[in-house]
Amino acid sequence: MTAVILNGEARQLPAEATLELAVRAAGAPEDGRGVAVALDGEVVPRAAWSTTRLGDGQQVEVLQAVQGGR
Amino acid sequence: MFEMAGRAFESRLILGTGGFRSLDVMAAAARESGAELATVAMRRVDPSARGSILDVLEQAGLEVLPNTAGCFTAREAVTTARLAREALATDWVKLEVIGDDRTLLPDPAELLAAAEELVADGFTVLPYTNDDPILARRLEDAGCAAVMPLGSPIGSGMGINNPYNLRLIVEAARVPVILDAGIGTASDAALAMEAGCDAVLLASAISRAADPVAMARAMRKAVEAGYEAQAAGRIPRRLHARASSPEEGVAALAETSPGT
């Protein structure tokens, strides 16, 4: 298992879990439309989600556009 | 029509999407407002959320302008802008770096640092700024595509607290000036345009109005009226009255003048 902080919550993901799996585990839309990901505070481009492996203790933020502004 | 970063916009009203009670009301108000750009915020994915704001805005014919709301440091704002670029495939960003929760006023030092970094990274930066002419100039010099001074604090509905500073900003700016924050009702929006702003950004005044769709229509008219009045050239203010009917040819009808 890989223990990560996913959108602020401690989560157990399978060993060798990728960022792509974490995005799905966060409940993001299947197609990933309008979604962006930061790993330990750095933006990871969508093209790299499936090849980025997660390690214990890493922080994953999965964001999307919501109503906001003024 | 006004131009910003090489793009032409018909509408001088930019809609913030915060505070609407539903996406349906937001879409109806967006249509009625005539706005072409709508701000969105970047937040953690909510698996229970229903409906996508992106779909709704697209159907209403509005383009998305991501903001960096909720950021208190240049570093957070820059990362949020990069996340928005990744998520929404736009390099336009409404830059906000807030100084504290109570006033929601911009932090000038962090704002300028973030603007410089984002411009260098190829972003089209639209910064929410204090109504400070010197900071506005610094942001413009940093390569921002517009400056967006506040009228009064976000969501306060107090209108334009410092019309004098706003005039100084408008007078000096070579990029569009967009009044951002503080609009409470239609006359505030009209005043901003009469002061020479190129556009107005607002949300709460519409989204939290008793009838958001009707207020959206009022705001569209107010922005148009204010802009046209400014372009038409208002009469100067005078201390005393100035008769509008001819003074010659007045009939002698009174035998004696009262009071003499």
pLDDT of A44-55, one tens digit each? 999 999 999 999
Lowest pLDDT segment from A59-63, A64-68, B119-123, B211-215: A64-68
pLDDT at B258: 67
**B24 CB near a chain A CB, below 8 Å?**
no
On chain A, the residues whose CB falls within 8 A of the CB of B18 are 67-70
Percent of chain A with pLDDT over 70: 100
Q: Which amino acid is at B145?
A: A
Instruction: Give the whole-number percent of chain B exceeding pLDDT 90.
Output: 88
Q: Report ipTM for this prediction.
A: 0.92
Q: Which of A17-21, A28-32, B226-230, B255-259 has the highest mean pLDDT?
A: B226-230
Count CA atoms closer than 13 A to B51's CA, side-chain side: 11
- Kindly list the distances between the CA atom of residue B139 and the CA atoms of A35, B59, B88, B124, B162, in Å, as whole numbers in the listed order: 29, 34, 24, 12, 19
Contact A7 B53 (CB under 8 A): no
Neighbours of B26 (CB within 10 A): 28
What pLDDT is attached to residue B51? 75
Q: Between chain A and chain B, how many beta carbons pairs sit less than 8 Å apart?
A: 108
- Which residue of the set B11, B56, B85, B94 is catalytic? B94
Task: Note if B94 is an active site residue.
Answer: yes
pLDDT by residue (tens digit) across B177-193?
Answer: 999 999 999 999 999 99
Report pTM.
0.89
CA–CA separation, B136 and B170 (whole Å): 10
Contact A27 B46 (CB under 8 A): yes
